[in-house]
Amino acid sequence: MAEDRTPRIEELLAQTQWVRELARRLVTDPHLADDLAQDTMVAALEHRENPPRSPRAWLGSVLLNLVRDAYRREQRRRRRESAAAGRDPEPSTLEVVERAATHARVVEAVLALKEPYRGAILLRFFDDLPPRKIARRLDVPVATVNTRLQRGLDHLRADLDRAFPGGRREWRQALLVLAWPERGVVAAAGAALVTSAGAVLAVATLLLAVVFVFRAIEGGKKPLERRTAAAPAMHEPQEAALPSDAPAPVETVVPVVPPAESAAPEERPRETPGERAPENQAVRPRAAPAGTWSGETAPIADMVYIPGGTARIGMSEQEIQALGVENVSYLKTLAASTPVHEVQLQPYYIDRCEVTNHQWRVYLEVTGQQPGPDLQRYGWPGGRIPEGQENMPVAFVSLREAEAFARWAGKRLPTEEEWEFAARGPEGLLYPWGNDLAGEKVWCAASQPPICQAQAVGAKPAGASSFGVLDMAGNVWEWTSSRYEEYPGYEDIRVSTKHWGGMPGEFSAAEFFSSTRRVIRGGAFNSEGTALLGAVRQYAEQSTWFNTLGFRCARCARPGLDAARAIDTANADHWALSEASIDPDSVLAFEQTWRDEPGAITAFRRVSFASLLGPVGLYAARPVLGVLSTSEDLLEPRAQAGDYVVLGAWDDPASVVLERSSGAWLEQDRIELSVRCVHVAEASAAELTRQRVTEGERLTFAFCAKTEGGRILRLELPLLVEAR
């Protein structure tokens, strides 16, 4: 019988003062804050059966929802008042009829769209939801939402071209009048003249969205870009005096400069694609450079630098036809890899080989874990690696276990686009080594002689990709972080086979697509030639583990960027981050990695900071400056490892608050500290300085923020970590 967690009324009432104080931190208007606090308590008392968490955290969530609702109501009210203030004179009856007819055509075109495009259009332009929130509601990636929106708008343009006799020129002129916010009332008046009984309600709800739909389709503009600003805003301080105990400037270890045109310093070692640069450091402990970024990064052991750029992803129908595949199941799998499309990739690193049994054992020992039951039963009898198999790829690892290892090592799983680009190279080869299947270059069913189990990683150097990445075909399948969903522009393929008497047959992968599945790549030791193709996608359930599935890791070339993006994604509902975004050019990171003699990672630590772009929100009591991520406890200020939102103060720019990004808003999760603050003439690049002191290592993150009055402040956030 489940335990009754219903809090007593006395327990809830004891939190009244805490709720009121929290509301006043979230809402600048004290009267509105008190009203919201009272509404929170009333709602909690009415629905207090088995709350999902502690009373204080639960009350905080209830209050946050009410604050969001109040914010949306205020926004809608302002839009209505703005529209009413600039209202044009009432149109003639003929104008109303013409506009109503135009509305009807647009609405019919929207409602005629096929799913999932119609749903995406309605959520974006009627519910006014940004792509990130649509993605969470539909449980799909943001890239999929953007693709559906773009394709939906393309279909809508084509439908309107057919609906209007004069084509695009006519409907653009007809909708031009409706594209101004001041016409919203006129548009609503025209809705009453639509006579189609089945469309009256739909038209009434869609008319206000016509303006935004037109703006999106009129010129082919993408309505998907996030709102950004030059810098996080702060209220103008009355005085910006330096604290008497402010630390003196210290030597800058790694300045961060804009990466596009800036040249790398001459003394920094460079790594050409696929080349492993030597490391001039001791084996144990061995630490990576801290906060490195200047267009190219310092080399990372056992990883290959991929320069990024335009990547050709997927296969075409003609390429599939040329393969001569007759197996219907294989053809359905190949259909999921169509069509060919291009993506832009930022520079990144990817592991040269798959994660090995030895690396996995070190990870388990350091973190105090035991091998999984299936790994112990089938792979490591008695929980020990069989003799001679230390360098074989680890298998029987689920997606969550692979992700946990990657985080611990300061990495992540690669996206399928990153994986494919590293395997096929800029040339878009069929196989990592070329366009012909060569059994001597891969561990697979086509090997000579055939093999029945995985082999040591890196044992087929002749099968390396053009970047120098090994084992991208055969040995074991590899997890990626991408969901198994259709590519942009996906359509069923038509391929001629013997089963159809040499006539084209239609093959579809639509039945296999699911947002809960993840893409796996590369084939395994028991795979045939088709599965070894660099463009082929297969899928696995997230909880799957078997003897032919392993993984390798990747990471952004810029240290700290992966951590900043992870905070941004995981805390999209946080009141401070819901409307803001990470500024990639501002990411600063202090990272260190230790390895054992064979090269397996034994420890990793990171402290990173990134400032934010975007509005703070009307109800935020403090300006949002950025996000801080630390993999270990801080000595100054006293803070546990985790992710924090860095908040400024309206009245004191030399004071900031670190708040846990978990959204619980508990008092013990808020840490106040003083910072160095000065006015500057113009914004400068963010910088990280590192100084050895008696207590440990002092890290100072320096960045710029703009005040509400337009002046620029240079802030220095000091942190102290243990020296190692």
pLDDT in tens, 448-494: 566 678 889 999 899 999 999 999 998 999 999 999 999 999 988 88
Q: Give yes or no for residue 414 having a pLDDT over 90.
A: yes
Task: State which H helix or E strand residue 566 sits in.
Answer: helix 561-570
**562 phi and psi, to 5 degrees?**
-60, -45
CA-CA distance, 571 to 578, in Å (whole number)?
A: 8
Compute the residue count for the chain: 724
Strands 601-613 and 642-647: unpaired
Average pLDDT along the chain: 75
The DSSP call for residue 352 is S
pLDDT score, position 493: 86
Residues 493, 506: contact at Cβ < 8 Å?
A: yes
CB 428 within 8 A of CB 388: no
Long-range Cβ contact pairs of 321-330 (< 8 A, separation 24 or more): 321/495, 321/496, 323/530, 325/495, 325/497, 325/530, 326/497, 326/498, 326/499, 327/530, 328/497, 328/499, 328/507, 330/530
Dmax over Cα atoms in the chain, in whole Å? 89
**Mapping DSSP to helix (H, G, I), strand (E, B) and coil, where does residue 477 land?**
strand
Q: Is the pLDDT of residue 264 over 80?
A: no
pLDDT score of 272 more than 70: no
- CA dist., res. 16 & res. 59, Å (int): 10
Per-residue pLDDT of 286-304, as tens digits, reads 333 334 333 334 567 899 9
Looking at residue 537, the DSSP 8-state letter turns out to be -
- Measured N-to-C along each axis, helices 167-176 and 93-111 cross at an angle, to the nearest 10 degrees, of 120
pLDDT at 190 over 80: no
628 and 432 in contact (C-beta within 8 Å)? no
Whose structure tokens read 């006539």?
A: 503
Q: Is the pTM of this model over 0.85?
A: no
* Dihedrals phi, psi of 476, to nearest 5 degrees: -140, 150
What's the rounded Cα separation, in Å, for the pair 370 and 211?
58
pLDDT at 541: 93
Tell me the two tokens of residue 189.
Answer: 């008046």
Q: Position 110: which residue type?
A: V
- Stronger pLDDT, 485 or 136, i.e. the higher one: 485
**CA 443/CA 452 separation, integer angstroms:** 9
Which one, of 169, 72, 147, lies nearest residue 617 by Cα?
72
pLDDT value at position 426? Answer: 93
Distance CA 581, CA 564 (A): 10
- Point out which residues pair with 309 in neighbouring strands: 345
Report d(CA 397, CA 88) in Å as an integer: 65
Instruction: Name the pLDDT band for 7 (thresholds 50, 70, 90).
Output: low
Residue 71 pLDDT > 70: yes
**Band (322; pLDDT cuts 50, 70, 90):** confident
| DSSP letter assigned to residue 263 | P
Q: What mean pLDDT is predicted for residues 355-361?
A: 96
CB atoms within 10 A of CB 83: 17
147 closest CA partner among 343, 331, 319, 428:
343
Distances (CA, A) of 235 to 108, 380, 399, 595, 711: 47, 60, 45, 47, 10
**pLDDT over threshold 60, residue 315:** yes
Q: What is the pLDDT of residue 102?
A: 73
Q: Is the separation of the CB atoms in 630 and 606 below 8 Å?
A: yes
Say which range, 30-39, 354-363, 625-634, has the weakest mean pLDDT: 30-39
Residue 328 above 70 pLDDT? yes
By DSSP bridging, strand 687-693 and strand 676-680 are unpaired
Give the whole-angstrom CA distance, residue 271 versus residue 557: 12
Residue 227 clears pLDDT 70, i.e. is over it: no
